[in-house]
Amino acid sequence: MDNSTLIKAAIAVTILLLITVLVLSFYTKKQSRNTVLLLGICDAGKTSLYTLLRFGEKRSTVSSMKENEGQLAISNKTFDVVDLPGHERVRYRYVDFLPVAQSIVFVIDSTTLNKQVRSVAEYLYDVLAKPQVQKNRIPVLVVCNKSDMITALPTEKIRLMLESEINRLRSTRTARVEQSEEDETEVFLGYEGEDFKFEHVDNELEFVSCSVENKDIEKVQDWIRN
Ligand SMILES: Nc1nc2c(ncn2[C@@H]2O[C@H](COP(=O)(O)OP(=O)(O)OP(=O)(O)O)[C@@H](O)[C@H]2O)c(=O)[nH]1
Ligand SMILES: [Mg+2]
């Protein structure tokens, strides 16, 4: 074989390799970000919402210790959906699913937020400040569930309560981050020197109310679909 044949063969092999890599990366990218994560503390209504989204019906639930996974069809589009348990010992395992997360639906019980604002804010803070959530600009929908109850707080009030709680948490958490800066585990949320506001977060972030009990989840379905 002369030199020019060798060069031609090398070029052909390189081009083939490049095409394979491109096709594979396109395919895996498309495949890998198709999952909607349902997060939130215990009793928020994640499994109830998951069941209603997937099967169009309400079923009685027990507190989850393991995630539920399945497919969801909303007007001709299919999504993978994962309902993660809210128990405090396992709720942070959601990070394992971030590589495949297309969006995050963060569920809150609007009737108990007065008592639980600290744990809800801690969890939401953790999610929003994750470098992977920030880098990939994963959209987050905060769902204020149980709006059928007379004791449910209005969405705007919930937003303000969480803003001020996250603001409080931020000062303590930032101090902790500065101690261990080399392994960046969380990003600073919002603007330095300014009170925290959800609008300071770069991700698409929205609040809606819903009631799984009354099968009133249209806003959630619309958001997931778009
Ligand atoms: N009134 C009312 N109750 C609801 C609603 N959605 C869920 N619930 C009730 O809230 C309780 C908790 O619901 P789950 O779906 O099991 O809560 P979860 O978020 O999956 O809780 P964990 O699995 O412990 O993390 C159940 O008794 C549900 O029937 C709602 O829209 N309105
Ligand atoms: Mg559950």
- The angle formed by the CA atoms of residues 153, 157 and 162, to the nearest 5 degrees, is 105
Of the candidates 54, 201, 183, the one whose C-alpha atom is nearest the C-alpha of residue 137 is 201
Ligand minimally distant from the alpha carbon of residue 143 = 1
Contact of 34 with 100, CB cutoff 8 Å: yes
- Please state, in angstroms and rounded to a whole number, the distance separating the CA atoms of residues 224 and 226: 6
193 is in an annotated binding site: no
Predicted confidence pLDDT, tens digits, the chain (226 residues): 678 899 999 999 999 999 998 888 776 655 568 899 999 999 999 999 999 999 999 888 889 899 999 999 888 889 999 999 999 999 999 999 999 999 999 999 999 999 999 999 999 999 999 999 999 999 999 999 999 999 999 999 999 999 999 999 998 876 665 555 555 688 899 999 999 999 999 999 999 999 999 999 999 999 999 8
CA of 196 to the centre of ligand 2 (A): 30
Contact of 130 with 187, CB cutoff 8 Å: yes
pLDDT at 26: 75
Q: Which two tokens stand for residue 111?
A: 């009737």
CA of 145 to the centre of ligand 1 (A): 9
* ipTM of the modeled complex: 0.99
- Please state, in angstroms and rounded to a whole number, the distance separating the CA atoms of residues 100 and 31: 8
45 is in an annotated binding site: yes
- Please state, in angstroms and rounded to a whole number, the distance separating the CA atoms of residues 225 and 220: 9
Report the interhelical angle of 155-179 vs 113-128 (nearest 10°): 50
Max distance between CA atoms of the chain, in angstroms, equals: 85
Which uninterrupted H or E stretch holds 109?
A: strand 101-109
pLDDT at 25: 76
pLDDT at 180: 53
The protein residue whose alpha carbon is closest to atom 9 in ligand 1 is 45
